[in-house]
């Protein structure tokens, strides 16, 4: 059995998000709709993160005023 590397994602909790847009300014993988809500490249509520995006993703989580963001690790 081979070991798999965990793939981190930035998760958006749509029930908490109010479209403040802070995360879209920090992460290139997120666009913004006309109302300020983040748009994940490829759709959905989880943005796959590369190693070089982790610092910006942590900052987005810390700065989200409504705690709508989290970093999840899955294998």
Q: Is the pLDDT of residue 74 over 80?
A: no
CATH number of the domain residue 41 falls in: 3.30.70
Q: Residue 7's pLDDT is what?
A: 85
| Residue 29 placed within a domain | yes
Structural domain that includes position 54: 18-74
Whether 73 and 7 have beta carbons less than 8 Å apart is answered as yes
| Residue 48 placed within a domain | yes
Q: Residue 3's pLDDT is what?
A: 52
| Residue 2 placed within a domain | no
| Residue 12 placed within a domain | no
Strands (E), 1-75: 7-12, 30-32, 38-40, 46-48, 69-74
Whether 9 and 48 have beta carbons less than 8 Å apart is answered as yes
Q: Give the count of alpha carbons within 13 A of 65, CB side only.
A: 5
| Residue 34 placed within a domain | yes
Q: Residue 75's pLDDT is what?
A: 58
| Residue 23 placed within a domain | yes
Distance CA 64, CA 60 (A): 6
Q: Is the pLDDT of residue 2 over 50?
A: no
| Residue 31 placed within a domain | yes
């Amino acid at each position: 059995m081979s070991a798999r590397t965990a793939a981190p994602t930035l998760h958006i909790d749509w029930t908490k998000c109010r479209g403040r847009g802070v995360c879209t300014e920090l992460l290139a993988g997120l666009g913004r709709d006309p109302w300020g809500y983040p748009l994940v490249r490829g759709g959905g509520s989880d943005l796959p993160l590369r190693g070089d995006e982790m610092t910006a993703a942590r900052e987005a989580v810390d700065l989200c005023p409504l705690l709508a963001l989290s970093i999840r690790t899955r294998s």
